[in-house]
Amino acid sequence: MVIDTATSLRLLELHYLPEPPTHTNKQASVLRWAAAGKSNGDIAEITGLTRRNCECYRGEIFRKLGVATRGQVQSPMSAASREK
């Protein structure tokens, strides 16, 4: 998978943080399903959360990773899900 320069730089920044961002269990679940390419609606159905909760968890994940769009976070999420 090809990632853009901004995403590559953000990954490097995250790698060198004293402590990497941590996620709650529910955030980690949303992160894994989003990395698999699932939509918020799909993730809500799979996890039993509401669509709005999935959007909120996704927003928190984006904030912690310092990204603004799903496209910026797709590759880091895939990498994070493989590490577990």
Residue range 23-80, pLDDT digits in tens: 788 888 888 888 788 888 999 999 999 999 999 988 888 888 777 776 766 544 444 4
pTM: 0.58
Q: Quick one: CATH architecture of 23-83?
A: Orthogonal Bundle (1.10)
Burial of 41 by CB count in 10 Å (0-12 exposed, 13-18 middle, 19+ buried)?
exposed
C-alpha of 24 from chain center? 12
